[in-house]
Structure 1
Amino acid sequence: MRYLLWLIKFLLFALLFGFAMNNADPVSLRFFLGYAWQAPLALVLLVFFVAGAALGVLAALAQVVRQRRELAALRKELRTRTAPPAPVAPDPLLEQPRDAV
């Protein structure tokens, strides 16, 4: 199974590497005010993919933080509800008599 995973990783790397080599032609991205950026197509795709993934993680981060806070509050509430009652001191009048030996 381990070798199969390595084989799949290698084939994926070879596929992506071949894609990058076949798309090494420079492309121009034109921005406002006459600014232009020239880079290989594979690099442009990689940059925008990484930027999109980072924005997706950042967007999900707020939800994760909110859920963690809610989970911590619920755990605290559960601890207070299931805490054993405080031990009550025994009444000395109700104790069994002890031998005076």
Structure 2
Amino acid sequence: MKYLMWLLKAAIFFTLFAFALNNQQVVSVNFFFGTQWQAPLVLVVLATFAVGLAAGILMMMPRWWKKRKTIPHHSPAGNLNENPSSMHHGI
């Protein structure tokens, strides 16, 4: 299974690498008020993906924080403050 995962990762890497090599043409992205950005197509696609990913994470943050506040937190060793006799001592 470990080798299958490495093979899958390598296939994804080489697919993305071939995509990047095939899309090196310079493109122009026109913004408002005549502002223009020229960059290789693969960088424009990567930047668009990164902005979308960041926007999605920022939009989900309030929901994650709200859900995190409603979940009670427990220490990994249990709540030792409630019953001190439950503490195990040993050599």
State whether TM-score is above 0.5: yes
C-alpha displacement of 1:19: 0.5
Q: Which amino acid aligns with 2:57?
A: V
Superposed, 1:1-101 pairs within 5 Å as: 1-72=1-72
Q: Secondary structure at the match of 1:24?
A: coil
Q: Within 2, Cα distance between the matches of 1:45 and 1:3? A: 30
* Count of equivalent residues: 76
User: What TM-score results when the alignment is normalised by the length of structure 2?
Assistant: 0.76
Structure 1 runs of 4+ off > 3 angstroms?
none
Q: Secondary structure at the match of 1:72?
A: coil
- Corresponding residue number in structure 1 for 2:86: none
Q: Which amino acid aligns with 2:11?
A: L
Q: Point out where structure 2 has 5 or more consecutive residues left out of the alignment.
A: 75-81, 84-91
C-alpha displacement of 1:30: 1.0
C-alpha displacement of 1:24: 0.6
User: What TM-score results when the alignment is normalised by the length of structure 1?
Assistant: 0.69
- Corresponding residue number in structure 2 for 1:95: none
Q: Which has the larger radius of gyration?
A: 1
- Corresponding residue number in structure 1 for 2:79: none
- Quick check: which one's helix share is greater? 1
